[in-house]
Amino acid sequence: MPKEGNCVIAQSGGPTAVINASLLGVIEEAMKQHPIRAIYGAKNGIIGLIDEELYDLRMEDPEELKLLKTTPSSALGSCRYQLKPFEHDEKDYVKIFNVFEAHNIRYFFYIGGNDSMDTADKLTRYAKKIGYDICIIGIPKTIDNDLVMTDHCPGFGSAAKYIATSVMEIARDAVVYPTNIVTIIEVMGRNAGWLAAASALAAKDIGAPDLIYLPEVPFSVDKFLDDVRNIHKKTGKITIVVSEGIKDKDGKYIADMSHKFGIDAFGHVQLGGAAFVLENIIREEVEKRVKAIQFNVLQRSAAHIMSKTDVEEAYMVGRMAVKYAVEGASGYMVAIKRDSDSPYSSSTELVELYKVANAEKLVPLAWISHDGNYVKEEVLNYIQPLIEGEVEIKFEKGLPRYAKLRKIMVPKKVV
């Protein structure tokens, strides 16, 4: 028999253009499921559970909720908070499960990436330890596309579409003058180069980028200069895309050649700046006219150019998470399975959270050029279906009309 009780949804990690489509999928499916009564949203991810800050999502205007499907960023707020292993420190777990019990939470859905799946796995194991009856399901999200056990991740397709489109536009801008120029574009990707690889889709339109560097391959400044010089002699105009996480054979980040970075809550180096380091090197060694462009957060929440495939799959995994949970599944992530490439189709399946937590899916070396400065056709075949389709976005006074939630707080019950 399905559990009768309430559910809570939380979002974590970096925003994406489609993370709210998953949120809407959970909300709409939860409203259809009779065992689920109240539907809550946790403010700022797992922190909202620790602090007992919950929104009553049934109090939202249905029309505003519908707009979540095309609203970027995390509507419930996010966090980068790491739960310590409960074997070492149970303090946060006690707070969270006190909130679960006080509000009769029997379903918990966590939308996020690698670290979020780790959190969901820890909560699943703790629930078993204390005998608390709850279904916990992870819902994938990350523009980095580095979650294992799933063909790809919601958020990646739209970010890839934005990157490829922007590279097309930047490359067109760079060729209008007769003078030489080197343009270096930096995209996100700490250890996985999927986003940088997506820029190769632009080459079908304008032949750029000329060079692509991924973190999967050790980066050599000397080899890089040789690559740039060879193209510079032929055309004088070069467009280069680099992942923020490119590093040398010793594991030192290229961005770190100029300064040190901070560390986030999960111990990850906070990157950014590789393009500016390379800009200075090229200016000194090859060409004085150099431009460095860092997409930064623009690639995460570019809802104006969302992929319809991405939106619909993000919505799908949200809905399926609820269906699986009501059927009794717990301790799983909803993964996307690619059923066909032509025509493209996909479905969902469940994978154990512990197999996903803290693991990374990298671009296969076989999909990267022998010289390590470009990608092969296999990457394009993999990414192409994920960027396809356009989304009709509601506009108001010339600007996108995004969801405006009331965010009515649920009265606290835990003393």
Residues taking part in catalysis? 144
Q: Which helix (H) or strand (E) holds 134?
A: none
| Paired sense of beta strands 105-112 and 135-140, if any | parallel
* Token pair in block for residue 230: 């060879």
Q: Are 291 and 372 in contact (CB under 8 A)?
A: no
CA angle 338, 315, 403 (to 5 degrees): 150
What amino acid is encoded at 129 in this protein?
Answer: K
**Angstrom distance (rounded) from CA 17 to CA 301:** 4
What is the Cα 344 distance to its own chain's centre? 21
**Angstrom distance (rounded) from CA 42 to CA 227:** 49
Measure Cα distances from 412 to 53, 101, 407 in Å.
8, 12, 15
CB-based burial, 329-355: b 16+ in 10 Å, e otherwise:
ebbbbbbbeeeeeeeeebebebbebbe
Q: Is the peptide bond before 85 cis (omega within 30 degrees of 0)?
A: no
**Angstrom distance (rounded) from CA 371 to CA 352:** 37
Name every residue whose Cβ is closer than 8 Å to that of residue 29 and which is 6 or more positions away in sequence. 318, 319, 320, 321, 322, 323
Residue 162, helix vs strand vs coil: helix
CA dihedral 330, 332, 336, 338 (to 10 degrees): -100
58 phi/psi in degrees, rounded to 5: -75, -15
* Token pair in block for residue 150: 């799933």
Name every residue whose Cβ is closer than 8 Å to that of residue 240 and which is 6 or more positions away in sequence. 182, 183, 184, 185, 209, 210, 211, 212, 213, 228, 278
Measure Cα distances from 283 to 181, 250, 279, 311 in Å.
10, 25, 6, 41
